[in-house]
Amino acid sequence: MGILDGKGAVVTGGARGIGRGHCLHLADNGASVVVNDIDGDEAQKVVDEISEKGGKAVVNTDDISSRSGAQGLVGQCVDAFGGIHIVVNNAGNVRDRSFLKMSDEEFDSVVAVHMRGTFLCAQEGALRMKEQNSGGSIVNTVSAAHFGNFGQTNYAGSKGAIASMTYTWALELARYGIRVNAISPSGSTRMSATYKGPDGKEVELPFIDPTRNGAFVAFLCSDEANWISGQIFGSGGDRVTMLEQPRYGTSMYKEGGWGVDDLLESFEKFLKDHLEPVGLMKRPYPFYDGIKPKGA
């Protein structure tokens, strides 16, 4: 008996890296898994690995950034396994370029896979779950890059949008018994090999087993976790971390509102020490000396 017995699951981008780990853990815990990836050969290897251990899995090669692809994926899960109870939005790509040099193609390509693909697969999955009256679990994938990361306007922006969609869908879908959470995973993968430091140079990162996010995803998708929704967790390695949600912090008030003269007098006094570190690395606030064009 597994905690996911009888559940049908789809994992986008499940052929390699972090998504492969999700597929293996979902299947180990009893789910029947559609392993989606545009790379069908790699996806087949994951299906073979699951089948050899006695689990149930099939390959799907739809491009999840299109409506027809998302429909095909969800439809295949229902046809093959009699229903869909789990959608893991994991597929991803990167096209890093600094903001002022980023092309339309680089922007659109990343937004299409991450933001649009997540929207489409979650919507198609949730419509079926509502029709089945079965409830279900959607797990999206963000990244600490959404705090801001040099060279990743397209990726950071998409991941921030996915975080906001996660909160929104958790509110909208609870009435159908559908839970929506996200993970910010970690692992050494084809994608993590492209990471660069703030100086634009490639960084040597220690090896982290990318499959170690999968057990947490399996837990989140089980009925035992039916009280968890609208949350984002850091996963992978040895940790599970709560991601703090954006909220209003320190404030200053003035009856009748703030004029420019009031702000000139009070902003520095009350809020200067509360400016937040910027970006993924969370270095101390770097701009106290003023931000000016070169030579000014």
Contact between 229 and ligand NAD by CB under 6 A: the answer reads: no
Q: Which of 155, 186, 192, 229 is catalytic?
A: 155
Residue 150: name the closest of 111, 185, 99 by CA.
99
Task: Give 112's contacts (C-beta < 8 A, 6+ positions apart).
Answer: 65
Is 155 an annotated catalytic residue?
A: yes
Which residue lies nearer to ligand NAD by CB, 13 or 125?
13
In the complex with ligand NAD, which residue's Cβ is closer, 86 or 91?
Answer: 91
Cα(10)–Cα(278) distance, integer angstroms: 35
Residue nearest to ligand NAD (CB): 17
At its nearest, how many Å lie between ligand NAD and the CB of residue 205?
A: 8
Active site residue 229: no
Which residues are CB-contacts of 263 (< 8 A; sequence separation ≥ 6)?
none
Q: Which is nearer to ligand NAD, 37 or 96 (CB)?
A: 37
d(CA 88, CA 13): 9
Beta-strand ranges (E) seen in 39-177 are: 57-60, 86-88, 136-141
Site for ligand NAD in 34-53 (CB under 6 A): 36-39
Q: How far, in Å, CA of 123 to CA of 109, rounded?
A: 20
Q: Name residues contacting ligand NAD, limited to 136-175 (CB under 6 A).
A: 141, 143
Q: Is 159 a catalytic residue?
A: yes
Site residues for ligand NAD per CB under 6 A? 12-13, 15-19, 36-39, 63-65, 90-93, 113, 117, 141, 143, 184-187, 189-192, 210
> So which residues are the catalytic ones?
143, 155, 159
